[in-house]
Amino acid sequence: MPSLIVDQLLARPLGELLAPSDVAAAIRALSASDAARARVTAWLAVAARALGDDVRPLAQLLPPPLAAALRELVALPVTPRRATVEKVVDRPPVRRLVRAQVLAMLVDFTRRATSPFTENPIARGLRAFTPKPLKQAVSGEAERRAADFADTAVSEVLDGLAADLSDPSRAREQAEVRVAIVEGALAVTPSELVAPAAAHVDRAVDIAWRALAAWTAGASFEADIARVLTFLLGGDRSRPLGDVLADFGMREMVTFWAAKVLA
């Protein structure tokens, strides 16, 4: 009897087993469940505590073959389009951050460059006789020019970054940067990743649940689900589940597991 049920299940088209209306109903039930929300919050809190105490680098947690494959993948000579890079990096918060750094460096450089003169006793004496309005005007003009230069520098930095990251002739250097970033990420520990966010688990779940509830209440929700399933299943929608599993070398394993569960 269990084997007959399994055979019937494997013979059903994948599209019937993953009907958009059924998937939509399951997501709606999840978003409306307080118990599910509490369970997810509790699980994340436990995971955050466990990971927060783990000081091993991610490179030690990831199986060596997978880490090697990750390095090899990011080293592929892939160069994005310049417009794509600009969409990612040229954002107002990024500009403000870079501008603040440039301005701070300019002010620091000016202070260092003028210190041999301002620290000279004669220069300090002459400064004492300089009218205060004049000193304020000179200082204000210097700050204005520094701010103007910083604005120009930010644009040049971001433009140069976009140009370098989208130049096919620099594919090798781009790959080296990606590999270096991955190496840096693999050197990070779970504790370093999780600890700063551990105190915000409840808020993060609340944000996710509110977004899920708003999505399920929208008029396009079921159409969105249908569109995603159509993309994921593609031409396999009408194929039997067993045939699709066989393509991935998993039919026998799933058949054995299902028969064992139903026995």
Pairwise pLDDT comparison (34 vs 119), residue with the higher score: 34
Same domain, 242 and 197: yes
Distance CA 181, CA 175 (A): 10
**Burial annotation 159-191 (CB, 10 A radius, 16+ → b, else e):** eebbeebbeeeeeeebbeebbeebeeebeebbe
pLDDT tens digits, residue range 117-165?
A: 445 454 444 444 434 443 444 455 556 777 778 888 889 999 999 999 9
Same domain, 162 and 199: no
Pairwise pLDDT comparison (231 vs 101), residue with the higher score: 231
Question: 242, 14 in Cβ contact below 8 A?
Answer: no
251 lies in a domain?
A: yes
222 lies in a domain?
A: yes
Same domain, 142 and 211: no
Give the three-state DSSP class for 33.
coil
Per the structure, the complete domain to which residue 18 belongs is given by: 2-55+193-262
Same domain, 91 and 132: yes
Residue 72 one-letter amino acid = E
**Burial annotation 204-233 (CB, 10 A radius, 16+ → b, else e):** ebeeebeebeeebeeeeebeebbeebeeeb
175 lies in a domain?
A: no
Same domain, 90 and 157: yes
117 lies in a domain?
A: yes
What does the pLDDT read at residue 171? Answer: 93
65 lies in a domain?
A: no
Same domain, 95 and 150: yes
Residue after which a domain boundary falls, among 166, 182, 212? 166
73 lies in a domain?
A: no
69 lies in a domain?
A: no
Mean pLDDT of 225-236: 94
Please state the domain count of the chain.
2
What does the pLDDT read at residue 5? Answer: 86
Q: Which of 179, 195, 175, 176 is nearest to 187 (CA)?
A: 179
What does the pLDDT read at residue 136? Answer: 44
pLDDT tens digits, residue range 234-258?
A: 999 999 999 999 999 999 999 999 8
Residue with tokens 């501008």: 99
Average pLDDT, the chain: 87
152 lies in a domain?
A: yes
Pairwise pLDDT comparison (239 vs 101), residue with the higher score: 239
Residue after which a domain boundary falls, among 166, 184, 219? 166
Same domain, 161 and 215: no
Same domain, 157 and 105: yes
